Amino acid sequence: MLRDKRPVTSFQDNMIQIREVLFMKKIVYKITGAILGSFIALSLMIISRPAFADAAETSFTGTISDQTNPAILYLDTNGGTVQIKLDTTTDTSGAKFLVPGKTITASCFMGGDSYWHAKTITGKSSVGAIDPDAKQSTVVGVVAKNTSESMLFLKLTEGTMELKLDSTTDVSDLKSIIIGKTVKCVVARGSDAYMHAISISDTTESANLTQTAKTDTASTATTQTTGALPTELNPQNATQAQNALAAFVQSQQGGTQQGGTQQASAQTQEAPAQAAAPQTTDVTGTVDKQTTSSVLFLNTSGGVMQIKIDSGATDSCHALITGQTVTASYYRGDDEYNHARSLTNNSSKKSQTAELNPSELTVSGKVTSKTNEGTLFLDTSGGTMQIKLDSDTDFSGCQVLTQGKTVEVTCKCGSDEYFHAVAIN
């Protein structure tokens, strides 16, 4: 029988061949991994590269949403709301007022952060012009809601100042107007009795820091003297506004005086001018719901006027209820606010006096919307009481009746079978 004489492969030869195959595979894997790693690194470099102004641009036209803030513009377009970042390089010279409801066009490019970035913003502006008088002052505050291209609402420690914006308002030093942003305004009162913005400019952190040392004193003084509406304004800004107003008032009262004798003489000469009553102007409107015991918000044909109520102004008008027609005789104070010297309620008059029984009744409750100059409708725990108000009613403990205000009334029954208010606190 013949034997097969082919060479027999040993076990060692098989192992050598297997090792060679595995070695080749490792080399292939390493080469493939190196190529793949290089590709991934290159891709990441391309994705994370910074945005350049020469990137492809896209324009969006729409109305500004009330979500807009100093960092991001929210633009309501036909395709939905677009979020557009506002950079320091964004050109807003064509539309500085980025306020809700305004229609604008934003030319944007896609940044490396996957956000649209505004390169330029343009829009139309249409405001009227009224020449203000020469007396000017500077205030710093926070742009508040309802601001538009015709009216700037500025939050101060004394309350919200309404400033009319004219075609002559200087905004050359202003980057943009956005709700919540702090700005500096030079203001003056116009012939229409409204405050007008002469110029609006951006503020800087360094300007705020220079006021730090005086913040506590000025803030305390403001709180004690104004009886004002609370705001969220930084007290440093309030200090700056107050100091500017004080310097302005001082300059209007006679400039710099030298020497003790000259100062006394100048003060004596100025006394008659300071004692003279300021000129008043009459305006008629309806009481706005924002009215408080110290500030009358009056809806007029030209907008809502904010008038501070001086002591004695309510001698003939104690009921300032929303919707009632009131005539205010007002003057401009040194704080640049309107002040009411007298108020007249045109919607109602005081009730006739009556002979009162000796027994008294004291009740407390809230003033309702039906209240007028002649009758107090008081919402008490036992129901609504109808109490007449006449010329004998003592209002020394409560100068103004506003809707929703809680009061305590001492009353007596009159010969007309109605309760009459003897005193209100």
What tokens appear for 391 in the block? 């010329």
C-alpha triplet 285, 288, 291: angle, nearest 5°: 115
Check residue 124 and give its pLDDT: 72
Report percent pLDDT > 90 for the chain. 17
Q: Which pLDDT score is estimated for 109? A: 92
Q: Give me the mean pLDDT over the 109-136 stretch.
A: 72
At 376-416, the pLDDT tens digits run 999 988 889 999 999 899 988 888 899 999 999 999 998 88
Per mean pLDDT, which range of 14-28, 238-252, 257-271, 374-388 is the poorest? 257-271
In this prediction, residue 367 carries a pLDDT of 93
Task: Please classify residue 244 by burial: count the beta carbons closer than 10 Å to its beta carbon, then call 0-12 exposed, 13-18 middle and 19+ buried.
Answer: middle
**The predicted structure's pLDDT at residue 420:** 92
- What is the average pLDDT value for the chain, to the nearest integer? 75
Averaged pLDDT for residues 260-279: 48
DSSP per-residue letters across 326-370: EEEEEEE-TTSSEEEEEEEESS--PBPP--B-S--EEEEEEE-TT
What does residue 257 show for φ and ψ, rounded to 5 degrees? -120, 145
Instruction: Specify the pLDDT at position 102.
Output: 85
SS3 of residue 189 by DSSP = strand
**Cβ–Cβ < 8 Å for 295, 162:** no
pLDDT at 93 over 90: no
Q: What is the pLDDT of residue 303?
A: 77
Determine the average pLDDT of the residues in 355-377. 90
Tokens of 231: 């705001």
Least confident of 61-75, 200-214, 249-263, 349-363: 249-263
User: Are 98 and 64 a contacting pair, CB within 8 Å?
Assistant: yes
Q: Which residue has the higher pLDDT, 38 or 324?
A: 324
Whether 131 has a pLDDT exceeding 90, the answer reads: no
| Residue 140 clears pLDDT 60, i.e. is over it | yes
What fold characterizes domain 57-123?
A: OB fold (Dihydrolipoamide Acetyltransferase, E2P) (2.40.50)
Written as six digits, the tokens of 409 are 């009334």
- Examine the pLDDT at 369 and tell me if it is beyond 70: yes
Report the CATH number of the 281-345 domain.
Answer: 2.40.50.140
Domains 57-123 and 361-424 share a fold: yes
pLDDT of residue 234 exceeding 50: no
3-state helix, strand, coil in the chain (%, to 5): 20, 40, 40
Which bin fits 159, alpha (ψ -120 to 50), beta or left (φ > 0)?
left
Residue 363 has a pLDDT of 92
Mean pLDDT computed over 21-43: 76
Angle between helices 235-252 and 215-226 (to 10 degrees): 70
Per-residue pLDDT tens for 44-61? 655 544 444 445 788 999
With 80 as the cut, is the pLDDT of residue 141 above it? yes
- The Cα–Cα gap between 357 and 386 comes to 17
Statement: residue 273 has pLDDT above 60: no
Q: Is the pLDDT of residue 251 over 50?
A: no
Fold of 361-424: OB fold (Dihydrolipoamide Acetyltransferase, E2P) (2.40.50)
pLDDT of residue 75: 92
CATH topology assigned to domain 132-210+224-247: OB fold (Dihydrolipoamide Acetyltransferase, E2P) (2.40.50)
Judge whether residue 175 has pLDDT over 70: yes
Q: How far apart are CA 18 and CA 13, in angstroms?
A: 9
* Position 226 pLDDT exceeds 70: no
Domain ranges in the chain are: 57-123, 132-210+224-247, 281-345, 361-424
- Please give the pLDDT value at position 105: 92
